[in-house]
Amino acid sequence: MKAGVIASVLAIGTFVLMLSGYWHLPVPLLPYIELAAMLTSVPFVIATAYRLYQFPFMDAFIREVIAGSILLVGFVASVLVLTNRFGVIACTVILAYCKAPLTRWVERTFLGYEEPVEAQEERIGNAIRALTRLDEFGARVSEILATELEADWVEINSAPRSDAAHRFEIPGSDLSLSIGPRAAGRQYMSRQLRLARTAALQLAAHHHQLMQHEMRELTARAQMRTLQAQINPHFLFNTLNVLANLIHSNPSKAERVTEE
């Protein structure tokens, strides 16, 4: 609400400045002020498009434009202030190293992303890898991704849902990741789509591991049941009863049975 009010006031102010050229006021640098007011329509259009979430790449666009503009201003300032060529080169190198932290600052300040996308991918991967049971795989993963992607619902099924906003195949399995509409009617930005694609790959790897683990457990339980059948009390009773009779009738055979 506050951002909307501020944007409205600024829009009215810039519109008035755009009309100032027709008033022929004796204001210094008035033509430049008028030109700057006209150019402000570009960031307003970009901000409106971002606010309405109409383009998935808009978050990346805003991040790169703001960071690039700040770096460009820094470079121009270094050229104007520094007369030494080596000083300009050194400042350019410093600006190049500032690109990553500056981009991160823009994401946090203007886009509201409190952590880097790599850290969020790692956190989602750790949550997926923490699952140890195949029967809880779908429900828990849906809950995790719905929270991380700010989605109304997320489902993992053999067939993708027709009302899903985005669908991703989970490689190596017959499952699909269906993502419902984003909360508050917003569109998914490039960051959320990247997280979903990465999560699909992580799901494929962990689902394969859980399947192998479950197969090993089933094999081990089958072997255990076989051993239990061989050493059940009825089996032992019959064996010992035969052995007791052989001790008196055929001692050598009784010894062989005992060894076997």
Contact call for residues 203 and 126 (beta carbons, < 8 A): no
Structure tokens at 226: 């076989």
226-248 tens-digit pLDDT = 877 777 777 778 888 888 888 88
168 and 191 together in one domain: yes
203 and 241 together in one domain: no
- Secondary-structure percent of the chain, ordered helix, strand, coil, rounded to 5: 75, 5, 20
What is the pTM for the complete model shown?
0.62
What angle do the packed helices 2-19 and 41-52 form, to 10 degrees? 150
- At residue 233, the pLDDT reads 76
196 and 141 together in one domain: yes
User: What's the total number of domains in the chain?
Assistant: 2
202 and 251 together in one domain: no
248 and 224 together in one domain: yes
115-142 tens-digit pLDDT = 888 999 999 989 888 888 877 778 888 8
Determine the Cα–Cα distance for residues 84 and 63; give it in Å rounded to an integer: 32
- At residue 257, the pLDDT reads 81
- Which residue segment(s) compose the domain that 235 sits in? 215-259
User: Quick one: average pLDDT of 223-228?
Assistant: 82
176 and 202 together in one domain: yes
Determine the Cα–Cα distance for residues 139 and 198; give it in Å rounded to an integer: 18
Residue 101 lies in a domain: no
